[in-house]
Amino acid sequence: MASDSTNKRDSDGTAETSESKRVQIHAGGGNGGDLHWQLTPPTADTPPTYKAWEVDYKGNHAKVLLRTITNLFGSNEHAPYLVIVQSSGAGKSRCVYELGASLPLISLNLREYSGSETSGFPARDTKICRLLHRGADESSRDDKRRLCAAFLAGVLEAALSIILENNLTDLDPSDWRGLLDQNKQSFDERAAKRANELWEELSPDHEVIILYVLPATQKLSSCFKDAPHILLGIDEYHTLNFRYTTSKGSDEYTTYNALCDVLHYLRREKIFVIFMSTTFKLGRLAPSIGEQHIKQHAPYVSLPFDLYDGGPIITEDELTLTDVCNTEFLCRFGRPLWYTRWKCGDTGVKRRIIDFAMLKLNTFASLQRISNGAKFAALSIRLLLTFEPDRHAPSVSTETYQEALGEELDQVASHMRVVHSVPEHCEYMRTGTPSEPILAEAAGQLLMREDQVKCLAEALNPLVGTGEPGKLAARLLFNLAHDATILGLESNGFENPIYARPIPFLDFFKNLFADQWSEAILDSTPVGGDSTPFKDAFTDCYVHFTHWAKIGDESCITTEALWKGLARGIAWQCCGNMLGIDLVIPMLVGKESKLGCDTVTALFVKIRDKSKAQIVTLRKDFASTLFQSGTHHPLVFLTMQLGVKLSEAKPLQETTAQTAIHQGRDSQNDSKDANITPAAGGGSLPLSRTSNHNRYDISAIGCSSRIYRAVKDEDKVHWRHILASQKLNDEHPYKGPGHLDLLLQSKPFFSKSSFGWGGNKADADKMITDQNTPGPDPEMVEETVAIGGV
C-alpha cells in the first residue's frame, strides 16, 4: 500500500520533509489471513524525532504502566481514565505507544494549531481537533457532552471500519497499531465525519452512548484475541480546557469536563482513556462538574530517566574528566529526549543540541531575550531551587499561594521542570530539576550575561523553597567562583560545552576567596600528616560541576559518589546532618586520571546559619571512613557562616597550634557528627591537630567582598535578601511493585539505588555501598578544631 508523504516539523521547530512510517499489509480471506507490518527504515534526511521512535524502547516503564491501568479496568467507583503529566521530552507519547503491543490502542494528538497542520510529532489529528475545539464555542453543557459522545462514537466506528475493510479478525494489538499508523489520515477524516453526522442529529448524549458508543466498543473489542479493553490515548489533552466566555463570564465547564462525564457512563465497559500533557490544573485535574461524582485516579508521572542504551552509562576506571565533558556524554543522562536526539540526529542536529536545550528552557523563543520563566528554570537547575508544597510560610497569602502555584505549573509546562509526584488529593505537586547535564550546560549559557545574584534575589518568595538560606548562598558563591574560573580558560570551541569543563581546583579556590585570604589559604598546611602547603597538595586536582543535586543518605558520602558526581558534573547537597557535612564538591586527582574510587577527593563544606560565630570540624575518623580502599588523598573541610550580618563579618585569620590546643580544652560538642567550638569575641578561632590525615581546615564568617571575591558591593542588598529568605515518597499515590523505583529513577534526590547508571570495578553486577557501617560512639569522638579561623 502506498504511504502518505508529509511535510512535518521536528520538535525543534525546524520544518523538514520526510516520508511517514510505511506499513506493508498482506490480507487474505476468511479469518483475515496474515497481517504483517514493517516500518520503513529511516533515511539520512529523516528528522531525529522520527528516527528516535524507531529506536528500541528501553526500560520497564511501559510494563509498569500497563500493569497499573490493567488494575484500574472495570472499577465501578473510579473513572475509566488516567492522566499522565510530565514535562517535555520525557517520553509520554512513546510510553503509551508501547502499550499498543499489548492492548488495542487508538492514539490521538490534539496539539494546538501553530501555523502548520503538520507541525510536531506524533502528527496532529487535524479534523478531530477541529471537531473537539468546537466545544469551546458551545455554551450549553448538554451540547458539550453530546459533542464528546459523538466524538467517541466516531473514533470507535472509524477504527472498526478500517478493520472490517481489511476483513481482519482475531487481531494482535501490535498488528492493529501498525495498520492504524498506515491509515492515520484516513482514520482522522472518518472519525471526524462520523462524529459530525451524529452531532447534527441532535440526539442527547446518553442516546449516542447507548445507540453508538457501546455497540462500537463491544464490536471493536471482539475483533481482537481475547476481546481486550480498547485503549484510547489522547495527547495534548489540555487543549480541551479552553473555556467559553459569555457576558456573564467564563464557564468553568470545558470540553474536557464534558468528555470525563461521558466516560463515567462507560466505566463498566471495555474502554480506557489515557490523557497526556505537560499542562494541567491542580485540585481539579479530572473534575466532574456534572451530576456524577466518580473518584479520580491520581496523575501518573513516572517516565524514563537515565536509560541511555539500556546499560551502564559509565564504568569505573573507564573515562577521564576530559572524556565526560564532551557533548555526547552529557546527552546520556536525564530524559530520553537528549540521547535519542543525539543518536538519531545528523551533524547539524548534534552541533546545535546545546542551543536546542536552551530553546527548550526558553519555550522556543529567541535567545536574544531570555524570559523570566527561563531565568528561574536555569537558576533552579544550577542551584536546586524548589517549590514548597506545604505552604506553611507565615507570610503566605492566598494570592501569593496561587501565584507561586501558577509559576510552578508554568515551569513544568514550558521550562522543563520535572514532576516527581502528585499526591492523591491533587492540592499540590512535588516537582524539581533532577540532574540532566546537557540541560545544566544550557542553563549556564542562558545565564551567562545575567546578574545571577540579582536574578536569584528577585526569584525568591515565601513559597520558593531554598533549604536553609546559608546553603543556598553557599551554592551560589561556589557557582560564581566556578563560572569566573571558566571564563578565564581558553575557548573550548564554539560548539563545545562552555561550563562542562575540568577546571583547576586552585584556580577555583582563588576565585572563591578575596585575594588576601586566598594567598593565606594556598600557603596553609594540613592539620595532620606532613606539612605540604595547600597549593602543592592540590596542584593537580580538578573539579567539574555545572549543577547541584541532593544526596539522600549517608551512604552516598563515599568515593563512589565522588567519582560519579564528577562524571555528570554534580556537586552534592546533603540532606540532614550527614557526618557534619552540608555540601560536597568532588575533585579528581590528576587531570588525565580515570574516574574511580582511587582517584578522587573532595571539598567538604559545613554551613552554619547561627548568629554566633562558631567553628565546626569533622570527626576524627572521617578520612578513613571516606577512603575505604586505602588510597588516601588530601581533602579540604570548609566551614562557612554566611548568616552573620555583613557589618559583623570578620576577616580570616591564621592561628597557631598552641592556641588551638589551649582553646580546644574548653570546646563544647554540639553534634554527634561534628565538633563545634565557640569563637572568642573578636579573637582567633582554634586549630585542629587531632587527625592523622592530610586534611586542610578553613573557616569563614560573613558574606562580603572582604571575604569572597564573588560578592560585589553593589549586590549587598541582594545577598541580604537571599540569606533572609511531608516526604515525597510518603505522598506518592502509586505504591505497588516498581513504582517507587520509577519515582527514584527520576532523581528527586540521590541515594544508594541512584548509581546504577555507572558500573563499579569491584562488582559489575551490583552497586556496593557500605550503607550500614556504624559510626563511632559520639561519646568516644575526640574533640578537634580547625586550621583556619575568622
**pLDDT at residue 687 is higher than 50:** no
- Residue 595 contacts residue 757 (beta carbons within 8 Å): no
- Residue 103 contacts residue 173 (beta carbons within 8 Å): yes
Q: Out of 66-75, 475-484, 528-537, 775-784, pick the least confident.
A: 775-784
User: Residue 34 and residue 93: Cα distance in Å, rounded?
Assistant: 28
- Tell me the helix, strand and coil percentages in the chain, rounded to 5: 35, 15, 45
Q: How much is the pLDDT for 380?
A: 97
- Residue 383 contacts residue 472 (beta carbons within 8 Å): yes
User: Residue 636 and residue 587: Cα distance in Å, rounded?
Assistant: 10
Q: How much is the pLDDT for 78?
A: 84
pLDDT digits (tens, 9 = 90+) for 689-739: 334 468 898 998 888 898 999 999 999 999 988 887 644 555 567 766 677
Q: How much is the pLDDT for 754?
A: 72
pLDDT digits (tens, 9 = 90+) for 675-684: 333 333 333 3
Q: What percent of the chain has pLDDT over 70?
A: 73
φ, ψ (nearest 5 deg) of residue 5: -105, 120
Q: How much is the pLDDT for 64?
A: 96
Q: Which distant-in-sequence residues (6+ apart) come within 8 Å of 755 by Cβ?
A: 560, 561, 564, 767, 769
- Residue 611 contacts residue 650 (beta carbons within 8 Å): no
User: Residue 413 and residue 409: Cα distance in Å, rounded?
Assistant: 6
- The residue behind cell 494570592 is 399
The stretch 65-94 carries a mean pLDDT of 92
Q: How much is the pLDDT for 244?
A: 53
Q: Which distant-in-sequence residues (6+ apart) come within 8 Å of 311 by Cβ?
A: none
The stretch 348-354 carries a mean pLDDT of 94
Report the candidate in 300, 407, 354 with the shortest Cα–Cα distance to residue 62.
Answer: 300
Q: Can you give the pTM of this predicted structure?
A: 0.81
CA distances from 613 to 262, 683, 700 (A): 65, 11, 9
Amino acid making up residue 67:
R
Q: Which distant-in-sequence residues (6+ apart) come within 8 Å of 140 by Cβ?
A: none
Q: How much is the pLDDT for 729?
A: 59
pLDDT digits (tens, 9 = 90+) for 53-66: 888 899 999 999 99
pLDDT digits (tens, 9 = 90+) for 29-76: 334 444 444 444 444 445 788 888 888 899 999 999 999 999 999 777
In the three-class reduction of DSSP (H, G, I as helix; E, B as strand; rest coil), residue 705 is classed as coil
The stretch 432-447 carries a mean pLDDT of 97
Grid cell locating 591: 587531570
**pLDDT at residue 664 is higher than 70:** no
Count of C-beta atoms within a 10 Å radius of residue 290: 17
Q: Which residue has the higher pLDDT, 778 or 573?
A: 573
pLDDT band at residue 115 under the 50/70/90 scheme: low
pLDDT band at residue 195 under the 50/70/90 scheme: very high
Count of C-beta atoms within a 10 Å radius of residue 403: 13
Report the candidate in 87, 683, 704, 663 with the shortest Cα–Cα distance to residue 412.
Answer: 87
- Residue 154 contacts residue 200 (beta carbons within 8 Å): no
The residues spanned by each domain of the chain are 58-277, 314-725+735-762+777-789
Q: Out of 144-153, 172-181, 291-300, 531-540, pick the least confident.
A: 291-300
Q: Average pLDDT, whole number, for the chain?
A: 79
pLDDT digits (tens, 9 = 90+) for 593-626: 999 999 999 999 999 865 545 555 566 667 767 7
Handedness of CA 113, 118, 124, 130 (dihedral sign): positive
Q: Which residue has the higher pLDDT, 503 or 138?
A: 503
The stretch 554-579 carries a mean pLDDT of 87
Q: How much is the pLDDT for 387?
A: 85
- Dihedral, 181, 184, 185, 187 alpha carbons, nearest 10: 150
**pLDDT at residue 146 is higher than 80:** yes
User: Residue 97 and residue 105: Cα distance in Å, rounded?
Assistant: 8
**pLDDT at residue 176 is higher than 60:** yes
- Residue 96 contacts residue 84 (beta carbons within 8 Å): yes
Grid cell locating 341: 536526539
φ, ψ (nearest 5 deg) of residue 533: -65, 150
Q: Which distant-in-sequence residues (6+ apart) come within 8 Å of 435 by Cβ?
A: 333, 334, 547, 549, 568, 570, 747, 750
The stretch 438-447 carries a mean pLDDT of 97
The stretch 342-353 carries a mean pLDDT of 94
Degrees to nearest 5, angle at CA 514 with 511 and 517 = 110
